[in-house]
Structure 1
Amino acid sequence: MGIEKNGLSVLDIAKTKASEVIQKLNDADKVQILTNDFGFGENRFLEKNEALRFLSTISISPISKSPYSIIEKQKLLLSSEAAFQKQIIYISDFQKSSFPAQMKTEDSIKKFFVIAANYSTNNISIDTAYFETPAIAINEENPLKVKIKNNSEEEVSTTINLNVNNQLKSVSNVHLKPKETKYEVIQYTPSNAGSQNIALYLNDYPMTFDDTFYVSAKLNASYSVAVLNQSNSNPFLSAVFRPNLQFKSVHFQVDHFNLSLLSDYSLVILNSVTNMSEPLMNALNQHLNNGGNVLCFAPTSRQLGNINSFLNKCASCSYAQFDTSKIYVSSFAKSHELFKDLFVKIPENIDLPIAYHHYEINSSSLSGEQKLFSFSNGTSFLSSFSVGNGKLYLCASSAESNASTFPKSYWFLPLIYKMAYSAVPNTINALTINKNPQLLIPNNKINDKTVYHLVSQQFDAIPEQRTFGNKMLININNAITQAGFYTLKQANANDTLSVAINYDRDESDLSYWNIDELKKMTHLKNAEWINSNANISETIFDLQNGIPLWKVCISLVLLFLLIEMGLIRFMK
């Protein structure tokens, strides 16, 4: 309702029509005004003058509700006033994207649906944007996928501007056919770690609320990986992190690892470990529950040691029979998060790993095992188990080249990278008002009395927050009504998180129902439809009371006078 024509927005016209209705009411009548906000002050009935004052305070809001929920709430409030004759006056622009044509009601309340105005205009919108990787890498190209839509019936050309931390990084030209939706990929190469406030925008008038899309990311300077070795280091695990300075891997002998450092690592790799101390088992189990990831490669021989004690403790799984026969991996879990966006297009003859000797992986029915790579006989080569907030990845073979082709394959490096990336929560976020915006973050509260604040310049709000184990769920809901960047933080805490908030795009398509379509398609009992050019107060009065007899008499008198004058002239 924010589109303007001749200096008046659709909301201004709707408020004017509502004011006309209220002014025509009797002093004893009561009015309840309901907007999309469902505000606390909208749950009561007002006197005539009070209603007019409240009406003047209504402004554009990004919050939207379904017409059905609005009418149902209105009916619920009306039911509390049994002594009054009830009616609902619904004033809207009736956009096709927000008003369902097949809407149906069966109640006996008289309803008047009034078209305020519908200003048709061209509109281009950036509907969403997201990175194709789970985290952003420093000094590397990161593909940012942007969905842009032409909501008009004409061909248009525009530019998408990429702005990061208030600096223009790139400009991309886009041409769109009528009603076309297109995905553009913009490459972003950051040079510094820290918060990345990313704004994608275009210039499109008069509809501007959907011209900018915000994405926020927290770029880590490095991801630390600990490799625990039973004996010698594995050359493939040593080499896998060398090309990327963003990863730091440290190798330890399993019996000399300092447990107090465990929280520093997003991924811990157990390289054919067979003998683990009880404190290490407990520490790794706690690390998994806190959100860390563990990748376990099978022992190199038939000697399992006590590794199964750790696996059973964490995920009710274990290594079983040792198989020395050659076997092929025949499938992989394409929809799993580790494989998402790994290929632009999956090759037809994809090269899957081959195992020369491996352990069979056993798991209980309650373990929640996800088979990532499966052998031709249905057993698993690589499995994933959820443990608290973390993931345990279990490989049936060791990381040696004589055990399988996995270490030398093109799968090895990206999968291990993703295992490390995925253990770092909320590196990228882009929330939308009115779409249940929530964040799940580590619970780093200083004490039970501290709370998280969402702040931006002069704005400060305390969103709803709930603790789930070691995580904190931040439910933004209606705490924010303006799109932009906000900072989530605790008082007197150094660690902050940038949060990107966007407007809902449901109203970007400026197609409207006309009154004939609405009359024909809707199934609303006791409904009357009033066009935008009608005098709303008089039309409603006439529909309520019928045409008064004095108006009929005057019309007949005028008609008879015209007939008489015509007869006199004709007879002369």
Structure 2
Amino acid sequence: MAFLYPSFLFALAAVAVPVILHLVQLRRAKRVLFSNVRFIQVSKDLTASQRNLKELLILLCRILFIVFLVLAFAQPFLPASDTAVATDESDVAIAVDNSFSMQNMHQQEDLTLLNVATDQAKVIADLFPASAAIMLSSTDMLNHGAPVQKNEAAAILDQLSFSAKSFAASAALKSQPSHLFILSDFQKNTFSPSILGEADSATQVHLVPMAAATTTNVTIDSVYLEDEFIRSGAENLLHVLLTNTGSEAIEDVPVKLFLQDEQASALSIDLPAKQATEAVLSFKAAGNKTTRAYVQVEDYPVEFDNTYYFVLAQSAPIQVVEVSDAPNSNLQRLYSNEPFFRFTSFRSGAINYASMAGADIVILNGVESLTAALAATVANYVKEGGNLAVIPPAGENRGAYTTLFQNLNLPASFTGASADAAKTSLATPNPNNPFFRSIFSDFNADMQMPSAAKSLAWSRASDDILKYRGGAPFLSRFNRGSGSVFMMAAPLKENYSSLPNHALFVPIMYRLAISSYKQLQQLAYTLGSETIQVPALGQRNKREGVYELRKDTLAYIPEQQVRGGKLIFNVPPDMDEAGFYTLQFQDSAVATLAFNYSKEESYLEQYSPDELKALVGNDRPNVHVYDYGDAFSVKGEFEKRYFGVKLWKYCLILCLFFLMAEIALIRFL
């Protein structure tokens, strides 16, 4: 034990005062005369030994009162167990996690984890002297990163609100404070113990975990359309992927779809524990305008991920380019009958390569004498993300087809079948194949199928869409990078195939074009995502200016560039509110984009204090993990370790105790 002010111990000489008073009281008794015996009071018998014991006890209480009073002023304390850091002169950093996961409720208090963490941070700040510099940090920069005095810390902490960004304590570690307190729920999904290795060995890192009441949470991961090609008035299906991140199943979770703030569809779904479940909602896209839509679930207390925003934009016409040497192509009339196709046909010797580069699909329809230049152009088109359909020629002159197959690494070759070759019937298609989705309203496995010769053969396709009855492929898809190649085994000639006269011909050719359609603008984007591409419609008039993202009164100017008619930009880092944003070029609205929060914070499972201690191990003696508890338990453990145990309060309590004991002895004995 040591004393903060040992000079006060000289005051122990005051113990002589009650001793002297006690000795003075040992004088001879006086005689008292009474005029009448009726004035004599009844006295209590008291032996000399009892009287001496009482006086000794009173003397002892007075002595101890003075002793503990002097000790209270001398302020005794037990020295700290860790004296590696001079805490009186140190700078301190307090990092408070204010990410969305801190919306969860505390295990013992009816408060959010953020409220509890803020209260504990205030108590921790009071541990240090007024001269200590305290730096406050969170997922957002507090007070511009400048250190403050402890009397200012409480006001700044009260300004904390939830942030869309994930919590990272690495920024506070860079300042290399003497003490760093991290108050967080320490999510397993976001917290990496490896960042503790960035701390300087002189920095004492204190991990203060928050105990969550539950880890159950429902989040909307993503949505996608059954038919990516959106047509006005056409019925479509929306697939919603929901995840229950908790360890308990949830029943009858309501899922609602809103179009332009009006409810369009709803259902209830059961969500198993720690599993993703798909819900399907039907809707009709009305009109030819962009529709703002969102899916909503009811879940408490973590609510930031209960809404998923997306945009239903009417699809642009599908650009179909045919290269054919036939004077009257049977595909021209087929695609020209539908307004959502833009069909263009070229002869193999007169091709507009600019139109070909902008097509959604290029169809080589029986091109004879394929030139090497055309083969190289088509191969580059596929490698850059285009879609190609190869329908073999009827003649024997095949030109550069072999070169084309080699450039695209297609294991295909011609069989040499002639027009009078035997035809083989096709097998019934698989209705579960995504290619035939929504084609059959009433599938008949015994339907009559067309027949065709085999002019082109291949192996190892990505997907065999149609097959011969013997199992050989008739129509297959090959994935090549971001592009695709569709190959048909027979020409579209009556003497080679009866498919052009069959009922399946129209839906198959339509599906080839529609499946090649790529919506450049996605349904939704994630805040903090890297790069976004949208059509640069605002550049048609060649005016100079910059694109802006606007939401209500907020405007953000992202890093941007325009290449090949596409606007490429990054999401601004300070854009952190989910919802709908208007992409504007000067005064013109280019597009409406939907942004949602990242789902990292939706997974609430956290490290317990024991797990944190195991992760920290013994190789980081400067990292300390506190058990679950209130702010005062953390305060007491920290004071004991770095400030020692102060005993002056106990001395003051004992001082008052012996004073009361003296009064009781005089009054009742």
TM-score tier after normalising by the smaller chain length = 0.7 to 0.9
| Alignment CA distance shift 1:489-1:339 (3 Å) | farther
Relative to its length, the structure with more strand (as a share) is: 1
1:172 alignment partner, SS class = strand
Cα deviation, residue 424, structure 1:
3.5
Cα deviation, residue 89, structure 1:
0.5
Q: Does structure 1 residue 491 correspond to structure 2 residue 586?
A: yes
Q: Does structure 1 residue 74 correspond to structure 2 residue 166?
A: no
Distance in 2 of aligned mates of 1:380 and 1:516 = 61
Q: Which amino acid aligns with 2:124?
A: V
1:400-439 correspondence runs (5 A): 400=493, 402-403=495-496, 413=507, 417=511, 419-434=513-528, 436=529, 438-439=531-532
Q: Does structure 1 residue 542 correspond to structure 2 residue 643?
A: no
- 2:281 is matched with 186
2:626 alignment partner, SS class = strand
Q: Does structure 1 residue 527 correspond to structure 2 residue 624?
A: yes
Q: Which amino acid aligns with 1:270?
A: L
* Unmatched 5+ stretches in structure 2: 1-101
Cα deviation, residue 48, structure 1:
4.3
1:113-152 correspondence runs (5 A): 113-116=207-210, 118-120=212-214, 123-150=217-244
Distance in 2 of aligned mates of 1:182 and 1:497 = 31
- 1:87 is matched with 179
1:18-97 correspondence runs (5 A): 18-37=121-140, 41-42=144-145, 45-48=147-150, 51-52=153-154, 54-65=156-167, 70-78=168-176, 86-95=178-187, 97=189
Could you report, residue by residue, the CA deviation over 1:496-551 in whole angstroms, capped at 9, with x for unpaired residues? Answer: 23222112333335555554554456537331314332414443222323324657
Cα deviation, residue 553, structure 1:
7.3
Q: Does structure 1 residue 452 correspond to structure 2 residue 547?
A: yes
1:13–1:117 contact (8 Å) kept in structure 2? no
Cα deviation, residue 199, structure 1:
0.5
| Alignment CA distance shift 1:23-1:410 (3 Å) | farther
2:473–2:489 contact (8 Å) kept in structure 1? no
| Alignment CA distance shift 1:339-1:490 (3 Å) | farther
2:382–2:485 contact (8 Å) kept in structure 1? yes
Correspondent of 1:440 among 511, 520, 533: 533
Distance in 2 of aligned mates of 1:279 and 1:102 = 55
Cα deviation, residue 163, structure 1:
0.9
Distance in 1 of aligned mates of 2:451 and 2:205 = 70
2:602 alignment partner, SS class = coil
- 1:357 is matched with 454
Could you report, residue by residue, the CA deviation over 1:199-249 in whole angstroms, capped at 9, with x for unpaired residues? Answer: 01133344321211112232226424243432254547754785x654454
Correspondent of 2:416 among 306, 317, 323: 323
Q: CA RMSD in A?
A: 5.3
2:215–2:245 contact (8 Å) kept in structure 1? no
**Bigger mean CA deviation after superposition, 468-477 or 291-300:** 468-477
Could you report, residue by residue, the CA deviation over 1:237-282 in whole angstroms, capped at 9, with x for unpaired residues? Answer: 754785x654454656666777776677533323212368999899
| Alignment CA distance shift 1:127-1:276 (3 Å) | closer
2:219–2:243 contact (8 Å) kept in structure 1? yes
Q: Does structure 1 residue 156 correspond to structure 2 residue 248?
A: no
Q: Which amino acid aligns with 1:62?
A: A
Cα deviation, residue 32, structure 1:
2.9
2:123 alignment partner, SS class = helix
Paired residues, what number? 538
Could you report, residue by residue, the CA deviation over 1:65-103 in whole angstroms, capped at 9, with x for unpaired residues? Answer: 4xxxx344433331xx6xxxx222110134455446999
2:551–2:581 contact (8 Å) kept in structure 1? yes
1:298–1:396 contact (8 Å) kept in structure 2? yes
Cα deviation, residue 7, structure 1:
8.2
| Alignment CA distance shift 1:391-1:113 (3 Å) | same
2:235–2:282 contact (8 Å) kept in structure 1? yes
Q: Which amino acid aligns with 1:22?
A: A
Distance in 2 of aligned mates of 1:361 and 1:285 = 18
Q: Which amino acid aligns with 1:63?
A: K
| Alignment CA distance shift 1:19-1:267 (3 Å) | same
Distance in 2 of aligned mates of 1:543 and 1:328 = 85
**Bigger mean CA deviation after superposition, 407-416 or 157-166:** 407-416
Distance in 1 of aligned mates of 2:332 and 2:395 = 19
Distance in 2 of aligned mates of 1:352 and 1:59 = 65
2:175 alignment partner, SS class = helix
Distance in 2 of aligned mates of 1:321 and 1:179 = 52
2:135 alignment partner, SS class = coil
Correspondent of 1:502 among 596, 604, 610: 596
Distance in 2 of aligned mates of 1:252 and 1:530 = 75
Cα deviation, residue 63, structure 1:
0.9
Q: Does structure 1 residue 229 correspond to structure 2 residue 321?
A: no
What is the TM-score of this pair, normalised by structure 1?
Answer: 0.72
2:546–2:585 contact (8 Å) kept in structure 1? yes
Cα deviation, residue 304, structure 1:
3.0
Q: Which amino acid aligns with 2:279?
A: E
1:542 alignment partner, SS class = helix
1:546-561 correspondence runs (5 A): 546-548=644-646
Could you report, residue by residue, the CA deviation over 1:367-404 in whole angstroms, capped at 9, with x for unpaired residues? Answer: xx9765599999997565769x8656555642336546
| Alignment CA distance shift 1:340-1:50 (3 Å) | farther
Could you report, residue by residue, the CA deviation over 1:339-374 in whole angstroms, capped at 9, with x for unpaired residues? Answer: 99999xxx999x999872324789xxxxxx976559
1:191-270 correspondence runs (5 A): 191-220=286-315, 222-235=317-330, 238-239=333-334, 246-247=340-341, 249=343, 265-270=359-364
- 1:365 is matched with none
Correspondent of 1:110 among 182, 199, 204: 204
- Highest Rg: 1 or 2? 2
1:64 alignment partner, SS class = coil
Distance in 2 of aligned mates of 1:48 and 1:415 = 73
Cα deviation, residue 106, structure 1:
9.1
Distance in 1 of aligned mates of 2:364 and 2:562 = 31
* Unmatched 5+ stretches in structure 1: 363-368
- 1:465 is matched with 560
Distance in 2 of aligned mates of 1:260 and 1:10 = 58
Could you report, residue by residue, the CA deviation over 1:153-203 in whole angstroms, capped at 9, with x for unpaired residues? Answer: 464323221111223211223244566643111122223334232201133
Q: Which amino acid aligns with 1:399?
A: L
Q: Which amino acid aligns with 1:90?
A: I
Cα deviation, residue 61, structure 1:
0.4
Q: Which amino acid aligns with 1:400?
A: K
Cα deviation, residue 60, structure 1:
0.7
